[in-house]
A = this chain, B = another copy of it.
Amino acid sequence: MSETNTKSKRLKHKEDLRRKILEVAKELFLKHGYDSISIRKIADKIGISPTTIYLYYQDKSDVIYALHQEGFKMLATQFAVLRNVEEPFERLKAMGRSYIEFAIENRDFYELMFIMREPIEFVNKNYACEWEEGGAAFEALLVTVADCKAKGYFKQADLHAMSLYVWATIHGICSLKLQGHLDHVVNAHFPEKEQQLSLEMAFDTLVLNLKSIQ
């Protein structure tokens, strides 16, 4: 065996175990939620010692950050398809629905990506401003809002302010929904309405408002 061959084999093994750790972390995460991700549980499931994990990730928040990144890749994949929607306002609506869909179907990921403080603090500490995965998603929104403006929508609004606003609104809807606040309010204050429709109600209002801005 040549030197380079064994070297690459070692590298491959390192990468394999690194990925395996992430995989098990993800499994625990999806099955039992964020709080049940524990270094010891991950190690047990793989059959290694807990301290071995520290040879592959600097600490627990590093593992969590890796999950965080996976989430952003998933969202980017979902968004990528929407580039094919030509009419910009239609695309904007589709992005909104797609974002909400992602939040509902990947609840734990969404919380990791947009609600919890820890992971984004890790990004700010370790990756400063060169955080591509997060930027790409917002860039897509920015472009779509710009396209809308080019077609005559949102004339009086600033591009950046408008993009920020749309994101904040959709995120607010998702956040309140996931935390149970939306259903709680619908239950307590207008029980005649279907709880399930709380999301649609809020989203439809946004669309209605966006239309009246044009």
Specify which chain B residues have a CB less than 8 angstroms from the CB of A138 in the assembled complex. 185, 188-189
Stretch at the interface among A15-23, A24-32, A53-61, A162-170: A162-170
User: Copy number in this complex?
Assistant: 2
The reply to whether B175 and A115 form a contact with Cβ atoms under 8 Å apart is yes
How distant is the Cα of A169 from the Cα of B173 in the complex, in angstroms? Answer: 7
**How far apart sit A74 and B124, CA to CA, in the bound complex (Å)?**
31
Give the chain B neighbours of A135 by CB distance below 8 A.
Answer: 188-189
How distant is A51 from chain B, measured CB to nearest CB, in Å?
A: 23
Q: How would residues 146 to 164 of chain A score, 1 for a CB under 8 Å from any chain B CB and 0 otherwise?
A: 0000000000111011101
User: Chain A: interface secondary structure?
Assistant: helix
B201 touches A131 (CB 8 A): no
Decide yes or no whether A179 CB sits under 8 A from chain B: yes
- The interface stretch among A75-83, A84-92, A203-211 is A203-211
Please list the residues of chain A having a beta carbon within 8 angstroms of any beta carbon in chain B: 111, 114-117, 120-121, 123-124, 129, 131, 134-135, 138-139, 142, 156-158, 160-162, 164-165, 167-173, 175-176, 178-182, 184-190, 193, 198, 201-202, 204-206, 208-210, 212-213
